[in-house]
Chain A
Amino acid sequence: MKVFRKTLVLFLCTLFVLSFVGTVAAQKVTLTWPCIWVGVDSKAETIKKFVDEFNREYAGEIEVIIEENSDYQAYRDKLRTAISVGRVPDIFTIDADIPLYLESGRLLDLTDAFKDGWEADFVEGALANSTVNGRIVAIPYEMGPTPVMYNKRLLQEAGWDHFPATFDELWQCAEDLKAAGIIAFSQMTGENAWTSMLWYSQLVVAIGGPDVYDNPNHPAFVEAARVLKKMYDYTTIDAVGAGAAVSGGHFLAERTAIFMNGPWYIGRLEREGSNNMYEHVAIAPCPVYEGGAGSQGGYIGNPQALLAAGATDDEAKAAAAIKFLKYITDPDRVAELSAASGALFYVKSGELEFEMERLQAEMVEQVNQAPYIVGHFEYMSPARVYNEFPMALSGLVLGELTPEEFVEQLNAKR
């Protein structure tokens, strides 16, 4: 009998403990975040720090779990597939095909969360990028201006103490660099042809003006193709088929003098540039195209990443997601992230005294002075068009397509 009683008490105690644990576990909300800011990304370390701090602050209540995704295209494929089967991630970023996602109805409506003054943390007009039919369904987070980045030391070796202000000067600069045994441009037709796509975007606006995308048949698209093809006469021999690692690698290794990318690359210039090349890097807006409708100082840029939460009927999960989004968009934290990574954000700078990095400060100054900021070609075009861009570009560069046929091939995908 004694044994029976002891066993019964032990059993009841175990049951009690398990139910308590179950209750605690049931109260804790877990948010999964398939995150692309991992690995060598300049934001990775700081983002992880924020997530760890958030988890400590909300221990037992909310836990954010990062699922690492280091490849942008693989991440987009995963996100698209997950949403198409109805499994929208709890927290995620959108960096491509933004209108499609905003209008999908799969994103958590954040409108009510902004009623407490959260909007004041963002630069004016930013929330328009993520508002659909009057409802705010995502948060514009990272800003993506993409100026020219150039190596002053290499330009000086070719006799240039300033970056060319016009395209006539740019061709002369390229010739002088060639004579000095230096390759002028980093270009690429592999993957999404990112670097070349950015040059094409600059050219289209420099030639056609800031409203060029209102007309997909604008002659600027053909002329820009002609100019981009000429740029390939001054690039590396592996540019056709090269991916971002090769294109950026040439610039980091000082094999090329001129590159194009965004503020997120500043961290990599510092960490991975050879021979202290970071000290010699400067940025500039695209040169003026003689006779073009673009203006001096015009910039290419767009929302580089929006933060979003998956729509859910679980009120606790929705509340937790909003709590995390507010945490990660806190101005002080964003200032810290900006200082650590070089990236720029739609959130206003906070009170913490982080010295803005040199190139970042130059970029902010140029962006503030820019007569316009136009989205790049990938942002301004449907998925079928920008996915065709690398193939059409390789055809253009290899002489299989004329500039007119290049534009035709892209427009055929609209």
Chain B
Amino acid sequence: MNVKREDRVGIAVFLTPVLVLFTLFFIFPIIYLIIVSFVEWSGLDTPAFVGFQNYLRIFNDKVFIRSISNNLIWALCAGFIQVPLAVLAALMLSYRPRGWKIFRTVYFFPKVISAIALATLWSAVYNAQYGLLNGLLRVIGLGHLQTNWLGTLKTAFPSVLIYWLFYIGYYMIIVLADIQGIPQDYYEAAEIDGAGRIRQSLNITLPLAKTSIVTCILLAMIDGLRQFAEVYILTNGGPANRTSVMVLYLYKEMQNYSYGTSSAAAVVLIAIGTVVILTIKNTLGRENL
């Protein structure tokens, strides 16, 4: 396509602000991060170059390794449990049952609320002494299952993860919008051929909504890798670092006046995120993204 000279000027003018902002708030911080990952710096003194020492330190730290595994579990659960739940909800709402608009709003509403507020709410739900969950278990005769959900080694991480998985509103809305854009002709033709709703969903809706579904999987997995607020509020990585995640780890390194180690952890997080994105892109097909 031949671009006229005057068009090139226009394109440059419109792109420049975005490029400047992108460079300032994305490229430059990443470059700065990489540089700081090779120094020892408390934030109060002068940085000292230490080579790969920070990387060696974090990979020898069991807490960091656990953080990576927790984040990968979180990302996989987000992509392959949370998103399918969202797709299921979107499918059901696409048939517009009675009150579907109310359900749509209710499912999406938590997305409007701050993650910190939700986590604070759930910390009260999970509280061992006066929490709603233990109270409910007592009422229904399952009092023997009561425990300190956030303070027990086996239940802490599942407790932090599970409640979050049910907040499907954001992905549901994306998939629902895509489903509602599918021409009705396909469904009419399928109905004439005798296909029921389930067959229509499997053979028409899901294939045609695949782009949005794959996009949601990608977004959900990235979100799983970036987790911080929920863990910080609910457990702060405890008990015994069992619920530690990478962003919390690098935040704690900053609290330890170790900006170099913190930056190294951040660089590793970026690298892992890049690998996840490329893997999904290549696994689920280039044409879908």
Contacts and interface: CB of A to CB of B under 8 A. Distances in A.
A398 B240 contact: yes
A6 to B, nearest CB: 44
Given A83-B43, A100-B44, A236 B239 contact: no
A387 B256 contact: yes
Given A97-B257, A239-B151, A240-B152, A391 B238 contact: yes
Interface string B242-269: 0000000000101111110000000000
B148 A240 contact: yes
Given A101-B44, A104-B45, A395 B240 contact: yes
A394 interface: yes
A237 B129 contact: yes
Contacts of A392: 240
Nearest to A385: B256
A106 B239 contact: no
B235 interface: yes
B258 A241 contact: no
Given A83-B44, A238-B151, A398-B152, A384 B258 contact: yes
Interface residues of B, number: 28
Contacts of B129: 236-238, 246
Interface string A144-177: 0000000000000000000000000000000000
A84 B128 contact: no
Contacts of A101: 44
A119 to B, nearest CB: 27
Interface in A325-346: none
A84 B44 contact: yes
A394 B258 contact: no
Interface string A215-246: 00000000000000000000011111110001
B119 interface: no
A391 B148 contact: no
Contacts of A100: 42, 44, 257
Contacts of A390: 236, 238
Interface string A387-404: 100111011011011000
Interface string A31-64: 0000000000000000000000000000000000
Given A77-B255, A384-B256, A395-B239, A241 B43 contact: no
A257 B238 CA distance: 26
A391 B252 CA distance: 12
A387 B148 contact: no
Contacts of A239: 151
A395 B242 CA distance: 9
B256 A394 contact: no
Contacts of B258: 384
**Dominant SS among interface residues on chain B:** loop
Contact of B151 (A73, A106, A241, A400): A241
A387 B252 contact: yes
Interface in A77-113: 77, 80-81, 83-84, 97, 100-101, 103-104, 106
A212 B45 CA distance: 29
Interface in B127-171: 127-129, 148, 150-153, 156
Contacts of B235: 190, 241
B227 interface: no
A237 B148 contact: yes
B237 interface: yes
A383 B252 CA distance: 10
A239 B153 CA distance: 14
Nearest to A82: B43
Nearest to B233: A243
A360 interface: no
B241 interface: yes
Centre residue among B153, B240, B258 by max chain A CB count within 10 A:
B240
Contacts of A413: 256
B287 to A, nearest CB: 44
B126 to A, nearest CB: 9
B256 A238 contact: no
A395 B42 CA distance: 28
B255 A391 contact: no
Contacts of A236: 128-129
A302 interface: no
Contacts of A401: 240
A395 B127 CA distance: 19
A383 B259 CA distance: 13
Contacts of B238: 189-190, 240-241, 390-391, 394
Interface in B196-248: 235-241
A191 interface: yes
Contacts of B151: 189, 238-242, 394, 398
A394 B239 contact: yes
Contacts of B42: 100
B78 to A, nearest CB: 24
A243 to B, nearest CB: 8
Contacts of B63: 391
Nearest to A395: B240
Given A100-B257, A395-B239, A241 B44 contact: no
Interface in B14-62: 42-45
Contacts of A395: 239-241
Contacts of A73: 255
Contacts of A104: 44-45
Interface in A355-414: 383-384, 387, 390-392, 394-395, 397-398, 400-401, 413
B259 A391 contact: no
A394 to B, nearest CB: 4
A83 B44 CA distance: 7
25 contacts: A77-B254, A77-B255, A81-B43, A83-B43, A84-B43, A84-B44, A104-B45, A189-B239, A237-B129, A240-B151, A240-B152, A241-B235, A383-B256, A387-B252, A387-B255, A390-B238, A391-B238, A391-B240, A392-B240, A394-B151, A398-B151, A398-B239, A398-B240, A400-B240, A401-B240
Given A190-B236, A239-B151, 9 more contacts: A83-B43, A100-B257, A238-B128, A238-B129, A240-B239, A241-B150, A241-B239, A391-B239, A395-B241
Leading 6 A-B pairs by shortest Cβ distance = A240-B151, A84-B43, A395-B240, A394-B239, A241-B151, A238-B128
